[in-house]
Amino acid sequence: MPRRSNYDKFPFVPVTDREEDCQVGWAAVARQLDVALTGKRSILCVECYPGTNLSELESGLASVLKPRLVVRAEPCLKSAQELDAWIRKKWPTPGNGFTRVPRKMAGYLSSERARR
């Protein structure tokens, strides 16, 4: 019997009962964010589910919000091979077969890639 996924494929968080409060499309969402951020020094962080079209999201938000800087986290991360080598060097696998992993984000970032 196949295992059932516990991943929420259709996430939904009710925020309001008013239909007019719901924005559809990145341009509409960006306009709402722009109203909320106007006149404020802000950092906007957007976390996405896997499979989100990041290019579409970025262009939709950036076209309205006109940010000074856009940083995508993924290109700043170490590759799987870099992480594996770093973890094995820093924390060799003990006799029990378990390997410790870093708990701070800095360990997962490549300073060289982040500078680009």
Model's pTM, two decimal places?
Answer: 0.60
Q: Is 28 left (phi over 0), alpha (psi -120 to 50) or beta?
A: alpha
Encoded amino acid at 102, one letter: P
Same domain, residue pair 9 and 65 = yes
pLDDT in tens, the chain (116 residues): 677 877 788 877 777 888 777 888 888 999 989 998 888 888 998 988 888 899 999 999 999 999 998 888 888 888 888 888 877 777 766 655 566 666 677 777 777 777 76
**Number of domains forming the structure of the chain:** 2
Same domain, residue pair 55 and 81 = no
Q: Which domain holds residue 104?
A: 74-115
Same domain, residue pair 98 and 43 = no
Same domain, residue pair 19 and 57 = yes
Same domain, residue pair 50 and 64 = yes
Same domain, residue pair 5 and 59 = yes
Same domain, residue pair 5 and 46 = yes
Measured in degrees and rounded to the nearest 5, phi and psi for residue 77 equal -80, 150
